[in-house]
Amino acid sequence: MALEFLFRQPGAPGRVAVFPGAWNPPTVAHLEIARAARKVADEVIWVLPRRFPHKDFESANLEARAKMLDLIARQEEGFSAALSDGGLCASIAEEARQFYGPSAEIALVCGRDAAERIANWDYGAPGVFDAMLDRHRLLVAARAGAYKPPKRHRKRIVPLPLELPLDQISSSEIRRRIAEGLPWRELVPAAIADAVAQTYA
């Protein structure tokens, strides 16, 4: 299992923030989360799994979503984009560890809703989430409320402050607006607006 980079910033970063998602499509909220992570990491990788543990590819296929991530990553310093063989965050983080080696700090980036899903996921064995946090910090952006981790996890779960209120922006809202012929372009990064129109309109 290994990351396949669509685009990668040059250099040997000491701190890497891995940002997995379904990206159906990426939103300006996702962009702000990535920018917040960039403030505490040398490189932020937008990661698209080749398969998901909890959903199928709908509305946009792997190639279309990969194209959007590639466009976003090329627009800002410190962004990279990659495909992952793993579907779970722990697996994706380990793929990054294999690529960057033991000297780099690998953290995972997500919003509050994703953090709750990761923490409560049925991994089929006890202690998987705790073991993941031992190896990788979790950088969590407040979306519709802040994530409140149990006390034992607080040193390994770091809040990411966002400069803008973005609670109402979601991929599903963008798809709904496109389907109903409503304005939507302000909800996606400018770099992918044309690609979103080609994919979903």
Burial class (CB in 10 A: 0-12, 13-18, 19+), 155: exposed
Please list the pLDDT of the chain residue by residue as tens digits (201 residues). Answer: 689 999 999 989 999 999 999 999 999 999 999 999 999 999 999 999 998 777 677 889 999 999 999 999 999 999 999 999 987 888 899 999 999 999 999 999 998 888 888 888 888 888 888 888 999 999 999 877 788 887 888 889 999 988 777 888 999 999 999 999 999 999 999 999 999 999 998
Bond from prior residue into 10 cis (ω within 30 degrees of 0): no
Residue 47 parent element (H or E): strand 43-49
For residue 8, the 8-state DSSP code is -
Q: Is the pTM of this model over 0.95?
A: no
Q: What is the pLDDT of residue 6?
A: 97
Side chain identity at residue 7, one-letter code = F
* 37 contacts 139 by C-beta, under 8 angstroms: yes
The domain in which residue 127 lies consists of 4-200
Instruction: State the pLDDT at residue 21.
Output: 93
- The two structure tokens encoding residue 77: 């310093």
Residue 110 confidence (pLDDT): 92
What is the CATH classification number for the domain harbouring 81? Answer: 3.40.50.620
Specify the number of domains making up the chain. 1
Query: What per-residue confidence (pLDDT) applies to 1?
Result: 65
**pLDDT given at position 89:** 87
